[in-house]
Amino acid sequence: MDLGQWHYFLSLERDFERTLDYVELAEENHKAYSNEYAKLLLLVGSEVDIVAKILCKDINAASTASNILHYQTEICARFAGMHTIEIDIPRYRMSVLPWLDWGNTPLSSPGWWRSYNNVKHGRDANFNEASQGNVTAALCGLLALHLYIHRDTGHLQPYPKLLEFAFPQTLVARGSGKTLPGV
């Protein structure tokens, strides 16, 4: 399996980690916004779109899913409970549930995804949504999608440095440690 997207995720994670030299990752700072967070939110959001489409094609080669609500329909139908996946950030004693909004009825996109679109289509009016909290959640959402794509991989390496989901005890679905909801 091509690991190009995985290495790109790791590059995005490194870029995010560098921002923590200036703004500590903390609940109190989740509303902090900057040009760097705007850049990262746009890059991560775009990659979520790409990787979600890949996951939908992995689930069903004939998939025509083309937006976040289509992805939600296909991914959640295949992986019941996916919306409850929790990504840990042990260094900061945090956990993020990036897809929790996918458990809502009617269908809805995550708040960080709406912020991504608001920044993408109207940065002048919505620049404050390019925040640490939204980038953190988006990056966790991207990791979650990768975990589902690589659910049958023994050990997806190299491991992320900041975000965690039972690395290295198990990738996701086998052995000890956490398991992916719906797998």
DSSP labels, 55-95: HHHHH-TT----SHHHHHHHHHHHSTTGGG--EEEGGGTEE
Residue 115's domain comprises 4-149
- 154 pLDDT exceeds 80? no
Whether 162 maps to a domain, the answer reads no
Whether 161 maps to a domain, the answer reads no
Q: Indicate the range of 15-24, 42-51, 72-81, 158-167 predicted with least confidence.
A: 158-167
- The number of distinct structural domains making up the chain is 1
Whether 21 maps to a domain, the answer reads yes
Whether 27 maps to a domain, the answer reads yes
Angle between helices 35-59 and 111-126 (to 10 degrees): 140
Q: Which tokens in the block code for residue 179?
A: 């398991």
CA-based nearest residue to 142, from 37, 39, 40, 36:
40
Q: What are the tens digits of pLDDT across the range 83-142?
A: 999 999 989 999 999 999 999 888 999 999 999 999 999 999 999 999 999 999 999 999
Q: What are the tens digits of pLDDT across the range 16-44?
A: 999 999 999 999 999 999 999 999 999 99
| 38 C-beta neighbours (distance < 10 Å), count | 21
Whether 105 maps to a domain, the answer reads yes
Whether 170 maps to a domain, the answer reads no
